[in-house]
Amino acid sequence: MNESFKNCDLDLKKLPVDVGPSYEGERIRGPDMFLELGGPKIKFKFELVRVAGKDDIKDSGNFKLIGKDIPEYNGGETIPFGIFVEVYGEKVEVELEGILERKIHDIINNIQGMMHLNQRYDIWCRISKADKEKNARDMKTRGMKDEEVDVFYGCTLCQSFAPVHICIISPERISLCGAISWLDARAAAKINPDGSNFPIPKGECLDPVKGIFTGSNAAIQKYSNNKIQQVALYTIFESVHTSCGCFESIGFYIPEVDGIGVVDRNFNGLSANGMKFSQLAAQAGGGQQIEGFLGIGIQWFYS
């Protein structure tokens, strides 16, 4: 049996996938699955947290992989799976082990393309297929136009930290986090009508240039408790679409050149206006309507 030790890199920006609360609740169906870990078909599966003594922690910050790594599988397999975590802290007591085990669920579900269900000896995880399938799905959406449909979709997944924000998802406008296209939202709403994705009748088009519709206005009024009355889907100025905090990039107005700049969340330097992504995010995020600032999902640029 293969064993390998790897040092944990705590810089999430260096991971090959995105991590954030926008992916919590993601469901990976059988056709979209690359690998299934544990689950009802497997007898041996578990997750266990153990509070260790100070002298028991010999390799802090490392983890040991027993068995094959994910890329070594062909795809479609269902395998036994276990997670064993040792923790230490001066104020960490044995009574906290169960609480810390539940944190595994939260952490894994914040990983793009990863699903975690249940706990203890009934865990069930799935890893989605590679970007090839995702790109094919994106290409299908790119061929659609907002004028071709009479229903948009909403997403309230980020309202836990942006209470008045909802994403309004149209064929040309992906969710700000980039994880949910119009086709994804439509499927999710059908599977779980009471979930975080729901249909929004487009209604009458009040402004085709700015993208103002009676249906999207009614939705933002309802889900913001009437704190926001109007939202425009195609502009960075008047009635700008609210932004949560999970956006893939930020658009910002540059008055000196009367232009718009864009900075990706993975860029660590200064943007064209001298601000870092984190500073711009503080301006744009939290469900605010701030003219000249807009959270953007990357696929929107292809519309």
Each residue of 47-67: pLDDT tens digit?
999 998 888 777 666 788 899
Between 109 and 139, residue with greater pLDDT: 109
Q: How many domains does the chain contain in total? A: 2
Q: Which residues face 38 on adjacent strands?
A: 124
Q: If pLDDT is split at 50, 70 and 90, which confidence band does 5 have?
A: very low
Each residue of 252-262: pLDDT tens digit?
999 999 999 99
CATH number of the domain encompassing residue 206: 3.40.970.20
How far is residue 56's CA from residue 212's CA, in Å, rounded to a whole number? 61
Tell me: do 96 and 145 sit in the same domain: no
How far is residue 239's CA from residue 150's CA, in Å, rounded to a whole number? 22
- Cα dihedral 57, 59, 61, 67, rounded to 10, equals -110
**Element housing 99 (H / E):** helix 97-109
Tell me: do 76 and 59 sit in the same domain: yes
Tell me: do 118 and 234 sit in the same domain: no
Q: In this predicted structure, what is the pLDDT of residue 171?
A: 94
Q: Nearest Cα to 243, choosing from 220, 259, 225?
A: 220
Tell me: do 267 and 224 sit in the same domain: yes
Boundary residue ending a domain (129, 144, 172): 129
Tell me: do 291 and 206 sit in the same domain: yes
- In which domain, by residue range, is 96 found? 3-129
pLDDT over threshold 50, residue 1:
no
Tell me: do 112 and 161 sit in the same domain: no
207 and 232 Cβ atoms separated by less than 8 Å: yes
